[in-house]
């Protein structure tokens, strides 16, 4: 028996739902963040242990992620969001056009969500910032939702990938 036969196959993330929209249309109204996150949360939460709780958590997390794209995206191109599931985990892939000057910010902000001082940086930011910055939002997802966050770059867009273990969150 070789090593490949002894190791269990990795479970794939199964697609649940996706949307695509012109970025200019998305950026035309701040309420699109809330409307899209609420709709998508309701659609994917119906078969979870506690659908209302799951929907609330997912909607909050997705709304924050959409706000990051709202504040940092370019009006040219399209925004796309896909949600996948693997057991208790949801994966969100959010793609949007990102100006070259913003790419470095996103690389650094995503990298900081994995650093040892992420919690201290988050507490410092929420105690001193009047409005949450895009970096604070990413830190919030990593800390309060126990999310793992990655970034993929494909000119002229970036994709933020967020794995959310919402079924395991204890409030």
Domains and their CATH numbers in the chain: 16-168 (3.30.565.10)
The predicted pLDDT at position 171 comes to 56
Residue with tokens 């709709």: 39
**pLDDT score, position 56:** 95
State the chain's mean pLDDT as an integer.
Answer: 88
For position 11, what pLDDT does the model report?
72
Residues of the chain with pLDDT under 70: 1-10, 129-132, 170-171
User: Rounded to two decimals, what is the model's pTM?
Assistant: 0.86
> Quick one: tokens of 140?
């919030």
Contacts of 58 (CB under 8 A, 6+ apart): 37, 40, 41, 44, 45, 90, 164, 166
As given in the structure block, the two tokens for residue 141 are: 């997802």
């Amino acid at each position: 028996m070789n090593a490949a036969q002894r190791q269990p196959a990795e479970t794939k993330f199964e697609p649940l739902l996706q949307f695509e929209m012109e970025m200019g249309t998305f950026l035309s109204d701040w309420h699109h963040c809330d409307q899209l996150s609420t709709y998508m949360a309701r659609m994917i939460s119906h078969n979870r242990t506690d659908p209302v709780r799951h929907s609330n958590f997912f909607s909050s997390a997705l709304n924050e992620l959409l706000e990051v794209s709202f504040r940092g995206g370019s009006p040219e191109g399209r925004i796309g969001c896909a949600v996948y599931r693997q057991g208790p985990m949801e994966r969100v892939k959010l793609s949007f056009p990102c100006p070259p000057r913003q790419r470095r910010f996103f690389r650094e902000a995503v990298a900081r969500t994995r650093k040892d001082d992420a919690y201290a940086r988050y507490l410092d930011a929420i105690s001193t910032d009047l409005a949450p910055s895009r970096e604070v939002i990413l830190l919030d997802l990593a800390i309060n939702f126990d999310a793992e966050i990655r970034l993929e770059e494909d000119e002229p867009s970036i994709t933020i990938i967020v794995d959310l273990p919402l079924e395991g969150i204890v409030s």
